[in-house]
Structure 1
Amino acid sequence: MQRLIPAMLIVAALIHLIPVTGVLGESSLAQLYGVRLHDRNLLILMQHRAVMFGLVGLLLIAAALIPAYRPLAYFAGLVSVTSFLMLAWWAGDYNFSIGRVVSADLVVAACLLVALAADYWPTPSPTA
């Protein structure tokens, strides 16, 4: 269990860090999400989104190393992925690139739930 929790948090962190490349601009965002952002305001919002993903990713890495950060990391990570998954489900009819994001977020959700369960599931006490 000592290695499982940090491993799950690192996987979730790495997936959260992928969109950080969107900070580089429209072409990076187009590659990530399969959309063209011709509106400068929307580009700014999407780049800011990339920064926010970076912050969640860094928090997840910190939580892998510092157990005291785990409750906040579980909360932030699960809010991040479940909100996106719900929005995608409600909207439906998304493109292939967004479908990949949905798949990645399902992996992140699974990793975070496994780590959370391992962290808080009661462990049997050793018998003498």
Structure 2
Amino acid sequence: MLERTIFVLLIAVGLVNVLPVVGVLSASILADAYGIAAPEGDLLILMRHRALLFGIVGGIILTAAFRRHLQPTAIIVGLVSMLGFIVLAVISNEFGTKIQNIVMVDTIASLTLVTVALLRIKKTIRN
């Protein structure tokens, strides 16, 4: 039962992290996602790279759902990525509704990864 729960939670968090990779496709997708003017030039390159990195983070988490030995790494990578964004947003203290929504989703996903870590610990103690 714990294995199934861990699997489902990792799939959910992995999907949350991999979805922004569509931002690689166009400036308008990025603009809509973040509630900003369509980026261009250097900013567009940076934003597309950010989307690509989300794909990598999400891919690691999704892979870890199927490969248990990768789960500790995936948990750390996911938490560093999402908590880093949350901290940066809170420090700036100036963000729009779209960023507020991302902060909320990242907070929930981070708590989900903490739950996965705790379930793994519980499973280890049982064995």
Query: Normalised by the shorter chain, which TM-score bucket?
Result: over 0.9
Greater C-alpha Rg: 1
> 1:34 and 2:35 equivalent?
yes
Distance 1:38 1:116 in 2: 37
Which residue type is aligned with residue 29 of structure 1? L
Residue 48 of structure 2 corresponds to residue 64 of structure 1: no
TM-score (normalizing by structure 1): 0.92
How far apart, CA to CA, are the structure 2 residues paired with 1:20 and 1:107? Answer: 19
Q: In structure 2, what is the Cα distance between the partners aligned to 1:60 and 1:13?
A: 5
Count of residue correspondences: 125
Tell me which residue corresponds to 2:6: 5
**Which sections of structure 2, spanning at least 5 residues, go unmatched?**
none
Q: What is the CA-CA distance between 1:123 and the residue it aligns to?
A: 3.6
Indicate whether 1:107 and 2:117 are aligned: no
Q: Distance in 2 between matches of 1:18 and 1:65?
A: 19
1:57-103 deviations in whole A, cap 9, x for unaligned?
01101100000111110110000011000000000120010011001
More helix by proportion, 1 or 2? Answer: 2
Q: Normalising by structure 2, what TM-score? A: 0.93
Q: Distance in 1 between matches of 2:39 and 2:17?
A: 25
Give the aligned CA root-mean-square deviation in angstroms.
1.3
The residue aligned with 1:78 is: 79
